[in-house]
Amino acid sequence: MKRRDFHKLLLGTASTALAAGTGVMGDGLAYAATPTGGLTSIVQPEPPILVLALNQQLPTMQVAGKIYESLLDFDLDLNPKPQLAEEWSISEDGLTYTFKLVKNAKWHDGEPFTAADVVFTCTELLPAVHPLARDYFSHCESITALDDHTVEFRLDAPFAPFLLCFESSSSPMMPKHLYEGTDFRNAPANDTPVGTGPFKFSEWQRGQHIHLVAFEDYYREGQPGLTEIWYQIIPDAASRSVAIETGSVQLAQWGDIETFDVARLAAMPGLEMTTKGYEFYSPVLWYEVNLRKAPFNDLRFRKAMMHLLDKDFIVERIMFGLAAPATGPVASTTKYYDPQIPQYDFDVDAANAILDEMGMTRGENGIRTTIRFLVAPYGEIWTRLAEYFRQAMSAGGIEVILDSTDVAGWGTSVANWDYEVSTNMIFQYGDPALGVSRSYVSTNIRKGVLFTNTQGYENPEVDRLFTEASQETNDARRQELYTQLQTILAEELPVLWMTEQRYATIYSDQLKDLIVSANGVNANFARAHFA
């Protein structure tokens, strides 16, 4: 059957199912598809777990962002807004941050949320399991509950972006009464996540759907505006496109819709499209190499690979314009970006000259060496990125073998350094001290923890500069330091930066107040509602 015929078959089936206003999917359930029923969204691929403190892969963040909250939210300009903290203050010396917590928040099991939960989360749980929070709260000399609804964070030195640490995926608050004294990664509470968010966990049918329902005791009056959220797990890209265009789902985000299909769907009546809501993340996509292994530990080989890769091709032919070429470790949408750093033009001749100089001679079959590429299992675009890498490397006589796995397998392999090359995409989190430094400082080489310095890059001067930049409060001086860092990293190529991603959110035009923060679709959706 041709793809076009298959698409028509799916379309006809979905249209029939929606005749009564709900979508009956492959597992036999009628999903909410009306203003009175709630929201149905895609999640792809299926999350490995729903506990946000333990996993920060995109599918987990999407769903668990409705269950868990932090002290603050952030608007589209990255200005802090109240969440579990209703107000906050900073001492004149920049060392003491005091948060006044909301007084009526509850955990989904009915227990009150208090300052004791914040102290436990930030001193015990997150530093043990969260790759970002471990660094964030290492800057604290003390974290103290002044009373049941007041928490004081005392820093050992100024840390310029400290307020930005308190967004939901970076510092999700966790219930002390369920986790204290447990093995956090294997706690019984992980099976039924409990947060303070506007939606609580109801059901997870593996391979089919995740169901969240409105939390009746949510602390903000009149919220949430939705009664429930169904997250459909739809592995096939064509089926995801059909689901959004027929209305059996009302929301697709991140990479749910392949880039080549975005423009068509965005032009359809009844649908809206925005690229807003990704400001906090400003994701940079790169090819990641394991620097512990030859030939990747040779800078010349990494430079040759960069010359073999055409960023413009990726932007135009794989991302279909929903990206921009990346110039280095800091995204152009983030503070302290500097474009005047070393670049590597697409130049096959230059790449081959470097490889010849290294003494990597071609065999009779034209192959100099063979490397293995671990394909990121996040959809067709990621497969195309892997296939393009294989094709690009062949021009230099580098044979690439592609290895496939699932989401959990990919995360485990990269976290445990059991790979040679893969694709990764790292969020900037509003400041280089939060989202950039973690990938390059040697203190964050942590086996078994994803989204750390998994490639194994070490440079004492880079460590020193990142520390100084994080403690500096003068913006001009911070720019100088981050320019130095970007220059060093561009010269040493710990990863191969490719693109700054511009993701599309496609949703029903009846869905209102959906994207209201810099966390976009990963936010809690407390205000979202149907018109």
Last residue of a domain, one of 151, 179, 207: 179
Q: Please list, in sequence order, all residues whose beta carbon lies within 8 angstroms of the beta carbon of residue 179, skipping any fewer than 6 positions away.
A: 120, 125, 187, 189
Are residues 214 and 323 part of one domain?
no
Residue 67 lies in a domain: no
Q: What pLDDT, on the 0 to 100 scale, is given for residue 23?
A: 45
DSSP string, 51-85: -TTT--SHHHHHHHTTT---SEEE-TT--EEESSE
Q: What is the pLDDT of residues 139-178, one digit of tens each?
A: 999 999 999 999 999 999 999 999 999 999 999 999 999 9
What is the domain range of residue 337? 284-501
Indicate the helix (H) or strand (E) that contains 470: helix 460-471
Task: Give the CATH number of the domain where residue 233 resides.
Answer: 3.40.190.10
| Residue 36 pLDDT level (bands cut at 50, 70, 90) | low
Q: Are residues 477 and 520 in the same domain?
A: no
Give the CA radius of gyration of the chain. 23
Identity (one letter) of the amino acid at 345? Answer: D
State the Cα–Cα distance between residues 136 and 119, nearest whole angstrom: 14
User: At a CB cut-off of 8 Å and minimum separation 6, what does 463 contact?
Assistant: 441, 442, 443
273 within domain boundaries: yes
Q: How far apart are CA 134 and CA 150, in angstroms?
A: 22
- Asked whether residue 295 falls in the same domain as residue 380, the answer is yes
**Helix axis angle, 3-17 to 237-246, nearest 10°:** 40
Of the candidates 327, 306, 478, the one whose C-alpha atom is nearest the C-alpha of residue 398 is 306
| Least confident stretch, 30-44, 436-450, 458-472 | 30-44
Give a yes or no: residue 64 inside a domain. no
Does 447 lie in the same domain as 429? yes
Tell me whether residue 451 is in a domain.
Answer: yes
CA distances to 58, 153, 323, 407 from 145, rounded to whole Å, are: 32, 9, 44, 38
Are 207 and 267 contained in the same domain?
A: yes
Tokens representing residue 37 in the block: 């029923």
The reply to whether 271 and 294 lie within a common domain is no
55 part of a folded domain: no
pLDDT at 52 over 80: yes
User: Are 84 and 145 contained in the same domain?
Assistant: yes
Total structural domains within the chain: 3
Strands 421-426 and 369-374, bridge-based pairing: parallel
Check whether residue 83 and residue 127 sit in a common domain.
yes
Instruction: With cut-offs at 50, 70 and 90, classify the pLDDT of residue 37.
Output: low
Give the contacts of 370 (CB within 8 A, at least 6 positions apart).
Answer: 398, 399, 400, 401
Do 421 and 361 share a structural domain? yes
- Backbone phi, then psi, for 243, in 5-degree steps? -60, -40
The answer on pLDDT for 7 being more than 70 is no
List, for residues 321-370, the tens digit of each pLDDT value: 999 999 999 999 888 999 999 999 999 999 999 999 999 999 999 999 99
Together in a domain, 24 and 83:
no
Query: Which residue has 């460590």 as its token pair?
Result: 463
Which CATH number does the domain housing residue 470 bear? 3.10.105.10
User: Can you tell me whether residue 381 is helix, strand or coil?
Assistant: helix
| pLDDT for 19 | 32
14, 142: one domain: no
Q: Is pLDDT at 385 greater than 60 in this prediction? A: yes
Residue 62: inside a domain, yes or no? no
Whether 56 and 47 have beta carbons less than 8 Å apart is answered as no
| One domain for residues 270 and 308 | no
**pLDDT band with cut points at 50, 70 and 90 for residue 26:** very low
Strand 228-233, strand 30-31: pairing? unpaired
Residues β-bridged to residue 401: 372
- What is the CATH number for 102? 3.90.76.10
The average pLDDT across 398-421 equals 96
